[in-house]
Each structure stands twice: as C-alpha cells, then as structure tokens.
Amino acid sequence: MSSVLITGASRGIGRAIAIEFTRRGHRVVATARDPRTLADLDVSRRLALDVGDDASVTAAVAAAGDIDIVIPNAGAIFYAAVEATPLAELQRLLNLNTVGAIRVAQAVLPQMRARGDGKLMFMSSVMGRVVLPPNAAYAATKWALEALVEALAIEVATFGIQASLLEPGAVSSGALDDVTTYTLPDDPYGALLRNRGPRAGMITPEQVAAEVVDAAEKPQLPLRIPIGDAARALLATRHTAPDDVPFHRGHSAENRED
C-alpha cells in the first residue's frame, strides 16, 4: 500500500484518481482549495491545499505525513488566439498549471530524498507536446511543465525518486463544457474558435484514473505516459511529422472534428 497525495481532487480527473487509488487499497490524501468539496470522498484524509499559496502547500504536506506518490493535478484552461490572450490571465494560468505543480513537488521532495524513494506524477496533457489554436495559453503551461519535469527527472534520479508526465487527450470531465473564451472586437480569429483542440476519442475520468494507477503501481515510471488511444495516436503522428512547419490538425485524421 502506498500513500498518495492528489491535488485538485474535488472533481473530474483528480476525484476519479482518488477513488481508484482507494479502491485498490492505497492510503489517499485528497486535497482541494475548499476541503468541503471532498466531503463525500471515501479517502484517508481530506485537506485544504491551494497550489498558488506557499503556506497552504506547506501546511497540507506537513499534515499529510509520509507521501510515496504525489499527483499534482490542479489546473484550468481558457481559449484565445495569442493576440487576444489577456496577459494577466496567462500569468494566472501559468501560476496554477505550472508553478503550482512545481510548488507541490518542492514541498514533498525533502521527505522523499530523505527516504530515498518516491514518485512524482504530474498531470500534463497531449497539449504539452502539440499546440492547436485556440489552446495556446493552456499548451504553454503544459510545455513549460514538461521541460521542468524532464529536468527534475534527471536531477532526482540519484535519490531514488522518479518523475513522470501524464498525457491524456480530451477527457469528459466537464472541464471543456463551458470554457472561458477571450476574443478581440470584430474577432479576426473567429474560425479558430470553432475548432477547440483534439476532441476525437474523448475518454472518461475513470479511464484516465485506471491508467494512472496502473502506471503508479509498476516499479518503474516512464518519463512520459500518454493516456488513452487517441492520445497515443496523436502523439505518434506528431513524432513522425516534420519540425520545420507548424503541426496542425490536418496532419492526422485522429485530430479532426468533422
């Protein structure tokens, strides 16, 4: 049995992962900014944790005790062309999706180094490997996370700690149902907003959770873990596409919405 800390566990993927780890007999510490949203989760601990606040993260990690597996999952998304992206909102998204995930990792690493063991499993996305308008801001947060975690994996390996990137495609968690969209007056990029990223092969949060826990229970984590058949197909196509031109949805039938 492992002790698992999950951020953003109040709904969607995070909640499904908490349920699946618990179902398999692990000790789960579920966290959210408002722990009341966790009241109906049958887990070992329910804690307040705001990934944007140093004191909140420090307090939650201290209260959680020894942690074997950490899954920084909290995140958000908005749609906008790059020209229309409000820079304050871009900074907010980076602080939540990227800086927040690293803040949690920094808080748990000292205890993992002391034990010489631990797994850090960061919730990235296929959008951490490709970018399809109007998802540039979200993709940027995941591309940045991928760079930080790849470096982290090298740095912590000598301490017996593993770091990996979870890369699901579109998930029917509800997060994509009513996404905030920013546009310019008389929006010249309106056509882009009709194609809002890879939705073919959408999978459920429960499917994501099953693959995440399967990976966590194995002795060795791959650096990158595509989740779902559509994600694996899209990333395979990206791997074979040329790098001297932008990758776009026309490269792959898996990535079409028509």
Q: Beginning with the edge strand found earlier in the chain, give each strand of the sheet holding 224-227 in spatial order.
A: 45-48, 27-32, 3-6, 69-71, 118-123, 161-168, 224-227
Distance from C-alpha of 132 to C-alpha of 234, rounded to nearest angstrom: 12
Closest CA to 223 of 129, 121, 145, 140: 121
Amino acid at 19: I
* Integer Cα distance of 195 and 179 in angstroms: 13
Q: Is residue 138 annotated as a catalytic residue, yes or no? A: yes
Rg (CA), the chain: 18
Asked if the peptide bond before residue 205 counts as cis, ω within 30 degrees of 0, the response is no
**Residue 170 φ then ψ, to 5°:** -65, 135
Three-class SS of 232-255: HHHHHHHHHCCCCCCCCHHHCHHH
Active site residues: 138
